[in-house]
Copies of this chain bind each other. A is one copy, B any other.
């Protein structure tokens, strides 16, 4: 079996197919832990995991924090407000100071692309990217792919449509890397202004018409639309976006009978999808959240120096 040798997790772009599969396989066994009466294993007892979040994100932070606690690690929240950062210290200085307290892993989220790489080059603790600017969000993509594989039994050959604001989406970018490596057939769908030029080079198809993917996709992955995009002139209006790219019950009639509706959350109900679709039979949105904890446990477990799925 593949051995895990990496010390940092920046993006799925860096990982081989086998490494991604090792994470997914490891996550499968950790998913069971969270269903036990005692949801805890001693794997990371006595390890210190710091959440270094520069962007507000209670959901992702909570998922990582729960994952760490269920592995019996000690966790510390190091938020940017009220910290030395407001005193002008650089991000790398902050990370080096945290590390000097014999910290094992730093989970970092930052509004600027590339920050995890800067930290990883300067510290010895393991860096896990929890989202950097518009660049990457590898654990989100891993939980998305885990959910597809669990539901469909495979990723190879799966027709996945990623719908919405591809341009600003680190979720889309990490999914593209992961899904194409595992052999899925990925199509991006969204307004011309929100699909980056040259993205086809990553091995994906592009369309601007929802009808091109609606009837044929195994998975419809809807991206969160930042409402600021309208005032940034990327969109004529939110209402127009919802009409053209939003998923409702009516449009779903054209979809495959076993289609999966995915969304990284939080959803804008009435924009990317209607409430009845979000809560409906095809939606696996809450399963994605559940699987997020398992995937993050797997990543932390592997990063801690444990080499195999068991």
Residues of B within 8 A of A292 (CB): 101
The answer to whether B66 touches A79, judged by C-beta atoms less than 8 angstroms apart, is: no
Residues of B within 8 A of A63 (CB): 101
Q: A62-B76, A268-B88, A290-B100 are in contact. Are A46 and B39 (CB under 8 A)?
A: yes
A70 CB contact (under 8 Å) in B74, B82, B89? B74
Task: Identify which of A18-26, A90-98, A208-216, A229-237 touches chain B.
Answer: A90-98
Jot down 12 A-B pairs with beta carbons below 8 A, ordered by A. A36-B46, A39-B74, A58-B78, A58-B79, A59-B83, A62-B76, A62-B78, A62-B101, A89-B265, A89-B267, A93-B266, A97-B286
The answer to whether A76 touches B65, judged by C-beta atoms less than 8 angstroms apart, is: yes
A82 CB contact (under 8 Å) in B50, B56, B268? B56
| A201 CB within 8 Å of chain B | no
| A310 CB within 8 Å of chain B | no
Residues of B within 8 A of A98 (CB): 62
Q: How far is the CB of A154 from chain B (nearest CB, A)?
A: 24
Identify which of residues 71-116 in chain A touch chain B, using a CB-to-CB cut-off of 8 Å.
Answer: 74, 76, 78-79, 81-84, 86-90, 93-94, 96-98, 100-103
Residues of B within 8 A of A302 (CB): none
Q: How far is the CB of A90 from chain B (nearest CB, A)?
A: 8
Q: How far is the CB of A239 from chain B (nearest CB, A)?
A: 16
Residues of B within 8 A of A289 (CB): 97, 100-101
The answer to whether A100 touches B287, judged by C-beta atoms less than 8 angstroms apart, is: yes
A87 CB contact (under 8 Å) in B88, B100, B266, B287? B266
The answer to whether A266 touches B40, judged by C-beta atoms less than 8 angstroms apart, is: no
Q: How far is the CB of A222 from chain B (nearest CB, A)?
A: 15
C-alpha spacing A263/B84, complex, angstroms: 14
Copies in the complex: 3
Q: A56-B83, A78-B62 are in contact. Are A286 and B69 (CB under 8 A)?
A: no
Q: A74-B66, A100-B290, A289-B101 are in contact. Are A38 and B45 (CB under 8 A)?
A: yes
A266 CB contact (under 8 Å) in B65, B89, B267? B89
Residue of B nearest to A278 (CB): B93
The answer to whether B102 touches A267, judged by C-beta atoms less than 8 angstroms apart, is: no
| A2 CB within 8 Å of chain B | no
Residue of B nearest to A88 (CB): B268
C-alpha spacing A76/B89, complex, angstroms: 26
The answer to whether B100 touches A286, judged by C-beta atoms less than 8 angstroms apart, is: yes
Q: How far is the CB of A8 from chain B (nearest CB, A)?
A: 20
Q: How far is the CB of A201 from chain B (nearest CB, A)?
A: 32
A35 CB contact (under 8 Å) in B88, B102, B265, B268? B102
A66 CB contact (under 8 Å) in B37, B84, B96, B101? B101
Identify which of residues 244-299 in chain A touch chain B, using a CB-to-CB cut-off of 8 Å.
Answer: 265-269, 286-287, 289-290, 292-293
Residues of B within 8 A of A93 (CB): 266-267
| A34 CB within 8 Å of chain B | yes
C-alpha spacing A207/B45, complex, angstroms: 51
